[in-house]
Structure 1
Amino acid sequence: MESDSFPSLYEIATRDWLGGLARTLGRPATFDDVPDQALDQIAGLGFDWVWLLGVWQTGAVGREVSRSHPEWSRWYRDHLPDFTDQDVCGSPYAIQGYSVHRDFGGDDALARLRARFRARGVRLMLDFVPNHTARDHPWVERHPEYYIAGTEMDLGREPGNYARAETAEGPQVLAFGRDPYFPGWPDTFQLNYRHPSLCAAMRDVLVKVAAQCDGLRCDMAMLVLPDIFARTWKEASLPSDGSLPDDSPFWPDAIARVRAQTPDFLFLAEAYWDLEWTLQHQGFDVTYDKRLYDRLHAHDATAVRDHLRADVDFQRRCARFLENHDEPRAAFAFVPWEVHRAAATITFLVPGLRLFHQGQLEGAAIRPSVHLARRAIEPVNPPLAEFYARLLAILKRPELRRGRWTLRECRRAWNENTTSEQFLTFMWEGPAGETLLVAVNYAPDQGQCYVVLPPDTFAGKTWNFRDLTGPFAYQRSSDDLIPHGLYLDLPPWGTHVFEVSQASPGT
């Protein structure tokens, strides 16, 4: 990612997107049926990237597991009132092969859609799932040595983590893909990253996939780090065919091979467990920032402020989000809507890649399932829709695209008043002197503070502060701003996004 750029990314569930279009057309829809108007709308909102979730070929086994899994089935019926079995498409993360799904028009149709996005200045991101494949992936039959093998004893002891598979070498027990803290994903089999031939094969797959897009979101990227992988699978990860185990890291060489062909290719890692910095050093441009999300969700202003004290170079390589397909809808998790507004103002107006989820801009509250071909139809939430329209307009400003960001400190409004500690304030300075000051009272109580402003910027002038998200406008002299700061009095969860400009003489 460019060091002076903070792009916006829009996540779209491909199956749901094309399914909605098919219902309008009265027939199946492919990428070639996406109207120019839909692409114009995405570009017009200011998105630099579109992430099409789930374009790859999936198979019958994954779909059947998704349909028959009792816990998932209960979830479908709870969240999609008119659910039928026909809605189950299977998880897009149980990938049978890295070719574009035949239902969507195949590789050529995606290439044409990518070119249409490119013509509008929008780049295309797709998924790469390193940890596992679908249970009906061709490698299961042809290369069972690529997978973590189990025993009949494993299957009997942990039927939720193993299954039998038919291979060219006869029936075998293979492990489901998983992370170490949860049961296995029963629609997948676990790849063995200590097997040298598997690592080489996956590097080849990554290079092939990268040729079809401009960036990749790498699912659960930390699971294939050598220490994480060895700790998760222990002796089970010793290659079953007698090959010497390969404990070299997968990502540095794999990413370097892609970069040799496409230097500006963008790698986004889904990352947890404080491994963001590790993955950035292994070649990822951007990593998920789940810590910021968790601290905002906990309504902990102090923890959020401490989080934002991290080095700006690290922060600009963080993907900031308030929801995605793995998290509850923000309109459900951050309530009332004023909390949502406050959390979103912080999330999307700090440095980093800004990730928005399909339905978020309209205030959707029901989390969609990746196992289903459609999501619940919900009415637009007017306050949230209006807020996001304003926010996206603000994100087009040059100081938020290429500017310099600083976290500002707040002083107590008076000695006994500790509410200054619940404020989060920061400033953007653009390449041509544009200035934006953001302030959020991230607490359920009224609060007051003085925002400390940089003397070199504000000395010797009178300044206008115009709120881009509300009706507020103030004029303040540097004689007051420099010694004291900018006084703010905000209601619970109140926000200001001030456009700061020098006042004309005599005003």
Structure 2
Amino acid sequence: MSPSKKHGFHISRYSREKYAVSENLFSKEGHLLVADYPAIVKLASQINEQRDLHKYPEARVSAAELYALGLIHEIFHYIIEVYQDQIDKDLFTQLRDELTRHFDQTHILQLEEYFKKDYSTGSDDRDVTIEPEGPELLEEIVLLWITNQNPAIRNYKELLDDTALTIETPYQQVIKRLYLELDRFPSVEDSSLNLIDFLLIPAHEAPESLLSQLNFMVTRWRKLLGPYAELLMRSIDYLREEHRPVFPPGPGPSREADYRYLEQEYEAFSRDTHWMPEVVLIAKSTLVWMDQLSRQYGRSIHRIDLIPDEELDLLAERGFNALWLIGLWERSVASKTIKRSCGNPEAEASAYSLKRYDIAEELGGWEALQQLKLRCAQRGIRLASDIVPNHTGIDGDWVFDHPDWFLQLPEPPYPSYSYQSQNLSPRPDIGVYLEDHYYDRTDAALTFKWTRFQTGETRYIYHGNDGTSMPWNDTAQLDFLNPQMREALIQTILHVARNFPIIRFDAAMTLARKHIHRLWYPAPGSGGDIPSRSRYGMSQNEFYRLMPKEFWREVVDRVAAEAPGTLLLAEAFWMMEGFFVRTLGMHRVYNSAFMNMLKNEENEKYKNTVKNTISFDPEILKRFVNFMNNPDEETAVAQFGDGDKYFGVCTMMVTMPGLPMFGHGQIEGFREKYGMEYRKAYWNESPNQALIEGHYHRVFPLMKRRYLFADSENFRLFDLHQDNGGINHNVFVYSNRVAGRASLVAYNNAYPSAAGRVWYSSPFAVKAPDGNKHVENTS
């Protein structure tokens, strides 16, 4: 038997009538067609509409569990068929013959007729109703009994209830007789169990969970599953989608860097232009900064060309040579509408929900940018900008001009979705509708509705989503299996690169090939991160055929050839930092471990991260972006305070190899976290003058000597050995050397005092001209 020969499972006539289940969901034999997963989703929705879920929320039916029940039923049929092939093809014929010798023939017929009446379709509008007969019918009766012994089906008992069979027929007596008869036949596989006991194992092993039963089957019965192995993995994915945990945004828990996986990857670092190693970057939320400057200078500063020279002079005087302006691009009007409809009357659109990559007209457009760039260049400051590559705004130009470039479905992924809310489209010919339940915050739908009024053409386009939290409801997810879209996005990146010497790629890790595959087209057994996408999964071979190259490697190579001298900076988490710089070729990559581990004083973990990095390849350390906060995190003063701990970690940030990045308001000690939709600061904060002075005395002088610290070739890390023979992991001691000048930094990232000696450095890798490397240490 192959998956093309579907048994499905029977639902009682009572339940079919109660829930008005369409007979089209059933085969002519009366089995529920579990292969049609969208139909199962609709069935679950129909059942839930009839149940009082407000009073009994635990009665909610899961489409994934319904599918799992049907698939388990099919797998049991398959195991029975294989068992019969090994033992006796006429097993159930023999069993039925035995029953007729122990029971009156009329009683057996009574059972069979009752089963057919209660569990077959018997629908008048079907061409032919094929009733199972004799041995085949007996097999179905046995499996109905086995299913009813499973405690995990309690929420589905009504659909499969065998109580009437027990009352009206000799059903239970027949099962007992069959059990005794099966003891005469060989046990199943390597067990000592008869067929019925063997099929009861998953329910005995995991009585409370269908997901656990499937996991048991895939690990313990894999060789028995035959053609059903992949379907079973997919069923597990469906269950994971419904039970997936939701994590807060950001990089997640920090782990020590481990580069063993990179041994199998090729090395292809991008060459730095001469200015890149010494970049010191400060981020500014553009709209908030201009509002703050307007109040500070007592005049309207609403365009970027109006940013005062004094502010640019101040940045240069302090040692900053790169300015990242967040929110320069033309933003989505729909994003602003959504946010204001949801309760924030002053909200701007998100800086990461974009209409197009043009400098916003309200900021002065391209002309204002050119004027600001010129004034910054006169002070040695380069401008940085964002690209948000995985999605556009829900009303971005591409949504209307190239709707095929987005991930979409012809129908909503779930039948409970409705789209009767306000039209968010600026175009008279096309409507864009957010799913209704976003507005009352009772659901966070995966898709929005796109419709062309003249033709009625309708699409359901996915929102941007990284699988860790809720979908971003003001965005539209691009489809990276579309080669035309990929090329258009590369052209957009080149357009930005010709105007900005530094580009930061937001959430870059989501576009690594393996994560596009995992999130949007998951292979069987790897789904569950984005609900509904397991239905559209692909094998790795199929996916790699459609996306033969890493998108980021293609971007890096094209920028190097067509816009050389652009520093490419990736916001990447998920333990992919080394891969992004060493293999994909990004010049710099976020190092969230710096902030998270030092904040939490996980000092040994961070020291091990540095040790692991330099013993594998010190070049990776040089390419880290170290920061004490970023726009998605709490402010630096909230995380590190404004005393010695702050200045100690800040000193490390500006004296370690890599790129130091300061947050908006970090130097002033501002505590407010500025949302991406903010037009202004809401807290009335004054700059912390003591903190600012501390920077002038302890931090800015080091920033102006970045050439001493920026490279990693001569970076050495030391352990502090205490008199008792132990190592104090709270103390960071490291040295560097360039052009005959040396530096030594020592910092204790803990309140208890420390004393000891440093001897030999931690091991570091040294590369030979032929590419081979060995590990050394020095005293």
Superposition TM-score, scaled by structure 2 size: 0.53
Structure-2 residue corresponding to 1:410: 720
Task: Verify: 1:162 aligned to 2:447, yes or no.
Answer: yes
Amino acid paired to 2:755: Q
Give the one of 352, 358, 364 matched to 1:93: 352
Q: CA deviation at 1:384?
A: 2.7
Q: 1:155 to 1:263 in 2, by over 3 A?
A: farther
Give the one of 382, 393, 412 matched to 1:152: 412
Structure-2 residue corresponding to 1:359: 665
Q: Check conservation: 1:427, 1:438, Cα contact below 8 A.
A: yes
Q: Check conservation: 1:19, 1:29, Cα contact below 8 A.
A: yes
Q: CA deviation at 1:339?
A: 2.4
Amino acid paired to 1:262: A
Task: Verify: 1:306 aligned to 2:645, yes or no.
Answer: no
Structure-1 residue corresponding to 2:598: 296
Task: Verify: 1:11 aligned to 2:283, yes or no.
Answer: yes
Instruction: Find the aligned partners of 2:288 and 2:415 in 1 and give their Cα distance.
Output: 35
Task: Verify: 1:399 aligned to 2:684, yes or no.
Answer: no
Amino acid paired to 2:571: E
Q: CA RMSD in A?
A: 2.5
Q: CA deviation at 1:10?
A: 0.9
Give the one of 237, 243, 246 matched to 2:547: 246
Q: 1:103 to 1:25 in 2, by over 3 A?
A: farther
Deviations 1:350-393 (A, max 9, x none): 11001011210111122111111112342223443233222121
Structure-2 residue corresponding to 1:275: 576
Give the one of 684, 692, 704 matched to 1:385: 692
Secondary structure of the corresponding residue to residue 340 of structure 1: helix
Secondary structure of the corresponding residue to residue 448 of structure 2: strand
Instruction: Find the aligned partners of 2:558 and 2:599 in 1 and give their Cα distance.
Output: 38
Amino acid paired to 1:9: L
Secondary structure of the corresponding residue to residue 438 of structure 1: strand
Task: Verify: 1:420 aligned to 2:728, yes or no.
Answer: yes
Q: CA deviation at 1:335?
A: 3.8
Amino acid paired to 1:101: A
Instruction: Find the aligned partners of 1:196 and 1:442 in 2 and give their Cα distance.
Output: 49
Q: CA deviation at 1:7?
A: 1.9
Instruction: Find the aligned partners of 2:341 and 2:374 in 1 and give their Cα distance.
Output: 39
Structure-1 residue corresponding to 2:386: 127
Give the one of 315, 332, 335 matched to 1:42: 315
Instruction: Find the aligned partners of 1:161 and 1:301 in 2 and give their Cα distance.
Output: 40
Q: CA deviation at 1:295?
A: 1.2
Give the one of 26, 32, 35 matched to 2:305: 32
Amino acid paired to 2:508: A
Q: Check conservation: 2:654, 2:702, Cα contact below 8 A.
A: no
Instruction: Find the aligned partners of 2:564 and 2:389 in 1 and give their Cα distance.
Output: 21
Q: 1:202 to 1:444 in 2, by over 3 A?
A: same
Task: Verify: 1:64 aligned to 2:337, yes or no.
Answer: yes
Q: Check conservation: 1:6, 1:351, Cα contact below 8 A.
A: no
Q: 1:307 to 1:42 in 2, by over 3 A?
A: same
Q: 1:361 to 1:436 in 2, by over 3 A?
A: same
Pairing of 1:82-121 with structure 2 (within 5 A): 85-86=345-346, 88-121=347-380
Q: Check conservation: 1:144, 1:167, Cα contact below 8 A.
A: no
Task: Verify: 1:450 aligned to 2:757, yes or no.
Answer: yes
Amino acid paired to 1:270: E
Instruction: Find the aligned partners of 2:537 and 2:481 in 1 and give their Cα distance.
Output: 7
Secondary structure of the corresponding residue to residue 360 of structure 1: coil
Name the count of aligned residue pairs. Answer: 434
Secondary structure of the corresponding residue to residue 136 of structure 1: coil
Q: Specify which structure has the higher proportion of helix.
A: 2
Deviations 1:293-351 (A, max 9, x none): 22112211111111121122101100000011111111111247332223222233211
Q: Check conservation: 2:604, 2:730, Cα contact below 8 A.
A: yes
Q: Check conservation: 1:21, 1:29, Cα contact below 8 A.
A: no
Secondary structure of the corresponding residue to residue 308 of structure 1: helix
**Structure 2 gaps, min length 5:** 1-271, 418-442, 523-532, 539-544, 762-778
Q: 1:402 to 1:315 in 2, by over 3 A?
A: closer
Q: 1:56 to 1:450 in 2, by over 3 A?
A: same
Superposition TM-score, scaled by structure 1 size: 0.80
Q: Specify which structure has the higher proportion of strand.
A: 1
Q: Check conservation: 2:655, 2:702, Cα contact below 8 A.
A: no
Amino acid paired to 1:161: L
Pairing of 1:215-364 with structure 2 (within 5 A): 215-234=502-521, 236=533, 245-280=546-581, 281-309=583-611, 310-311=613-614, 312-335=618-641, 337-364=643-670
Secondary structure of the corresponding residue to residue 284 of structure 2: strand
Instruction: Find the aligned partners of 2:585 and 2:340 in 1 and give their Cα distance.
Output: 38
**Structure 1 gaps, min length 5:** 74-84, 455-484, 486-507
Q: Which moved more, 1:28-37 or 1:333-342?
A: 333-342
Q: 1:306 to 1:153 in 2, by over 3 A?
A: closer
Q: CA deviation at 1:26?
A: 4.2
Q: Check conservation: 1:238, 1:245, Cα contact below 8 A.
A: no
Q: Which moved more, 1:18-27 or 1:360-369?
A: 18-27
Q: 1:28 to 1:42 in 2, by over 3 A?
A: closer
Structure-2 residue corresponding to 1:182: 469
Task: Verify: 1:432 aligned to 2:432, yes or no.
Answer: no
Amino acid paired to 2:659: L
Larger RCO (CA within 8 A; separation ≥ 6)? 1
Instruction: Find the aligned partners of 1:211 and 1:238 in 2 and give their Cα distance.
Output: 37
Q: Check conservation: 1:6, 1:316, Cα contact below 8 A.
A: no
Q: Check conservation: 1:195, 1:238, Cα contact below 8 A.
A: no
Q: Check conservation: 1:141, 1:166, Cα contact below 8 A.
A: no
The structure having more radius of gyration, on CA atoms, is: 2
Structure-1 residue corresponding to 2:12: none
Q: 1:386 to 1:22 in 2, by over 3 A?
A: closer
Q: Check conservation: 1:176, 1:185, Cα contact below 8 A.
A: yes
Q: CA deviation at 1:247?
A: 4.5
Q: Check conservation: 1:125, 1:215, Cα contact below 8 A.
A: yes
Instruction: Find the aligned partners of 1:155 and 1:331 in 2 and give their Cα distance.
Output: 47
Q: CA deviation at 1:13?
A: 1.1
